[in-house]
Structure 1
Amino acid sequence: MALLCREGAERAEQRAFLEEHLLTWVPDFCADLQRCAGTGFYRCVAQLTLGWLKLEEGLLQAEENAPSPFSCRVSTPALDRILEALGKEYRIYAPKRFPGRGARAGSDLVRYAPIRSAAEIVTDAPSDFSAKEIFYPVNQTMLYFQDDACRESVLSDQREILIFARPCDINAVRRLDQIFLGNGGEQDVYYRRLREKVRFLLLECGGGWDTCFCVSMGSNRTEDYSLALRLEEGGALVQVKDPAFAPYFEGADACAYTPGFVEENRRAARLPVIPDRETLKTASGLDFWKQYDERCIGCGGCNTVCPTCSCFDTVDVIYNETSRDGERRRVWSSCMLRDFTATAGGHRARSTPGANMRFKVLHKVYDYKARFGGEEHMCVGCGRCDRRCPKDISFYDAVCGFTQALEQEAEHK
């Protein structure tokens, strides 16, 4: 059953396996176990197993009976009215243009921000920052302390969250979910309480941009969305996948729209093959990384715009010098910063920009996959770090160059 889920088998296939195999004998076995087991532990295990199977059967049946997605065409005024209606229940975010605020003189900044109309949604340029700061804020207060008392922070806005996002960003969120919710057995409550409010509205990506390599990373497609939109002149084509949004599109003209995905980027990444610890040791010791000692200035800009970077510092802020009142915050941090690995005694596990670059690259295209299994790497190929770097260092070139250097080293052995 786990294999069918991992391989993305159709729900009907999963249900057939459940009914034709597991449910033909496991319930009887669990009943025998509850009757014959000598300890309460095994009786409870039997009860849990049976309950899980019944729950799984019910969920699969409910999904099969759920309304099918439908598509429609709406005009721009109609879409704006829908956004206005949604805004009463949801906070709505999308890539939005801020003229003159780009990283380089005279350039614009495209960043995820609240919107009120379809005209504000940027579709002709990639966003400079990712959507993660909506549910994983740059600066987040976790708790407040006063004298000997302490209280956790609460959300000031209880509305649900809608995010217009492209496939790479939606896939990036799944990586963050793995880190914050599926790593180590305990879920991060501060991440979860915002993340569970999020629903995605898929924005078609067209042909991508020069810095993209999402196809190489397998992040060019996704099915994790409530609505899909293709914004056109005068309106939009919409696919309604989540029944909760169907009432907003009642009376719209039906059409045959299905979202399209990028099938080929302008560039394709060559990813390293690291099958064992010996190869990993070789990869870590390559002279290839030394070039970044001179090129990289350790500003951390690449981590700031990356949709899958998750590192943070925890800091206590005291309101004034004589006060015992304050708050504990977590603030984004960066593995590329000089003091990221510094300890109290002054030692640094990684003391050069080249060592930091090695860590980042291996984390994105080896460590994550090795830790969590599956076929996904941490990097989603969005290309933001290439566009952000003030020294024009390309992460794509770093990955491809590293792969080539590792292959050449293997040939010499």
Structure 2
Amino acid sequence: MGIYLSNKEFNNVLKELGKEYRIYAPKLFKNKGRFSDTDLVRYDEVYSVEEIEFNKKSYYSPKEILLPITQTLFYFTEDKVIEPEMDDKKILVFLRSCDIHAVKRLDEIYLKNGVEDPYYKKRREKINFVLMECENSFENCFCVNMGTNKTEDYSLFVKKDGNGILVKVKGEDFTSYFDIGEEIEINPKFIEENKVKVNIPDNLDINIFKLPIWSEYTSRCIGCGRCNIVCGTCSCFSMQDIFYKDNEKTGERRRVWASCQIDGYSEVAGGFDFRSNQGDRMRFKVMHKIYDFNKRFGYQMCVGCGRCDDACPEYISFSCCVNRLNQEIKTS
């Protein structure tokens, strides 16, 4: 069962939740898009239902809530190390089904890959999911083929309905907040079909490294790294030690998002770069998403959100690349 709330009633609930939680959701930023007079949808803290963008896919994934773009791990002096204080508030984040599945992928990398990452774990333990329904499949999405179009992993389901909000409460921690409103039958509807279809080859192995299709990306890809930055499952970072000018023996260690598509990522000691051209980098990314991760954890890393296709300035399509790869293997 669920309840129906007016916008005003729902905003009152958000206000009460805000005492205990920081609430994040897709938010529309006017004239902040890539091109002139275009808008941008990205995740930000919200305080009312009017701020939440229900109808458009966010350009960036919500992973920066869990993995800040730049994160200070600790401060250091000559004789001690100090970890930064964490906000006491818990986190409530509005996510679509594919993005909930993307968090599962990050959990595998940061919590179940041999060693738990303590910084990720602290933030992860604070997060609760609010499921957002997709009315229609967005451009470039292929979540159905990736099996990420449905989920039961959420504490709340929220749907905008005219001048009100439909809410289904699953998490016991939220029951007291929603002990109001008209009780109705409500369940989320999930996307059953995408316009984009992706067929992942069943017999992938390292022999595909020699296929000629990768050389095409050497000339097409400009190595900007946008595909990695908007991706909900890319998890790589670099480490930086920042030394303060007033005392060069003190400073802080940060981790910063990195991209396997940009110069310097695969450079090793002595200056050798073992993936120096963009074709090799594209191959590495694609194989990591549909082969390496699957081989280790038993399911695909890519969730089919299509953001990499949305963001690429050279109109390189990940879904087309996988389908071409499938065709190449069939005919070879």
TM-score by length of 2: 0.98
Aligned position for 2:232: 307
- Counterpart-to-counterpart distance in 2, 1:377 and 1:281: 17
- Counterpart-to-counterpart distance in 2, 1:272 and 1:148: 54
What are the residue-to-residue correspondences of 1:1-400 with 2, within 5 Å?
70-155=1-86, 157-184=87-114, 186-274=115-203, 280-320=205-245, 323-373=248-298, 376-400=299-323
Secondary structure of 1:265's counterpart equals coil
Give 1:400's aligned amino acid: N
- Counterpart-to-counterpart distance in 1, 2:238 and 2:64: 15
**Greater mean deviation of Cα atoms: 165-174 or 279-288:** 279-288
Query: Post-superposition shift, 1:195?
Result: 0.7
Deviation string 1:260-311 (CA, Å, 9 cap, x unpaired) is 100111121011223xxxx523211110100000100011110000000000
Query: Post-superposition shift, 1:398?
Result: 1.0
- Counterpart-to-counterpart distance in 2, 1:329 and 1:91: 23
- Counterpart-to-counterpart distance in 1, 2:155 and 2:81: 39
Percent of counterpart pairs with the same letter? Answer: 46
Secondary structure of 2:14's counterpart equals helix
Deviation string 1:94-117 (CA, Å, 9 cap, x unpaired) is 000111111222211111100011
- Counterpart-to-counterpart distance in 2, 1:75 and 1:297: 48
Counting matched residue pairs gives 332
Deviation string 1:38-92 (CA, Å, 9 cap, x unpaired) is xxxxxxxxxxxxxxxxxxxxxxxxxxxxxxxx31111111111111110010000
Give 2:264's aligned amino acid: D
- Counterpart-to-counterpart distance in 2, 1:320 and 1:299: 31
Deviation string 1:132-185 (CA, Å, 9 cap, x unpaired) is 101111000001111132222221x1100000110000000000001000001x
Contact in 2 for aligned 1:302/1:384 (Cα 8 Å): yes
Contact in 2 for aligned 1:171/1:380 (Cα 8 Å): yes
Give 1:171's aligned amino acid: H
Aligned position for 1:46: none
- Counterpart-to-counterpart distance in 1, 2:80 and 2:24: 36
Higher relative contact order (CA 8 A, sep 6+): 2
Contact in 2 for aligned 1:338/1:353 (Cα 8 Å): no
Contact in 2 for aligned 1:103/1:388 (Cα 8 Å): no
Query: Post-superposition shift, 1:356?
Result: 0.4
Secondary structure of 2:314's counterpart equals coil
- Counterpart-to-counterpart distance in 1, 2:176 and 2:306: 37
- Counterpart-to-counterpart distance in 2, 1:323 and 1:97: 42
- Counterpart-to-counterpart distance in 2, 1:401 and 1:305: 23
- Counterpart-to-counterpart distance in 1, 2:290 and 2:219: 23
Give 2:228's aligned amino acid: N
- Counterpart-to-counterpart distance in 2, 1:393 and 1:107: 21
Give 2:120's aligned amino acid: Y
**Stretches (4+) displaced over 3 A:** none
**Which structure carries more helix by proportion?**
1
Q: Which runs of 5+ in 1 are unaligned?
A: 1-69
Secondary structure of 2:144's counterpart equals coil
Give 1:204's aligned amino acid: E
Secondary structure of 1:77's counterpart equals helix
Query: Post-superposition shift, 1:206?
Result: 1.3
Give 1:309's aligned amino acid: C
Give 1:381's aligned amino acid: G
Query: Post-superposition shift, 1:321?
Result: 7.4
Deviation string 1:210-254 (CA, Å, 9 cap, x unpaired) is 210000000000111000011121111111111211111113111
Change (3 A) 1:107 1:269: same
- Counterpart-to-counterpart distance in 1, 2:247 and 2:129: 46
- Counterpart-to-counterpart distance in 1, 2:19 and 2:82: 30
Query: Post-superposition shift, 1:322?
Result: 5.4
Structure with bigger gyration radius: 1
Q: CA-atom RMSD, angstroms?
A: 1.1
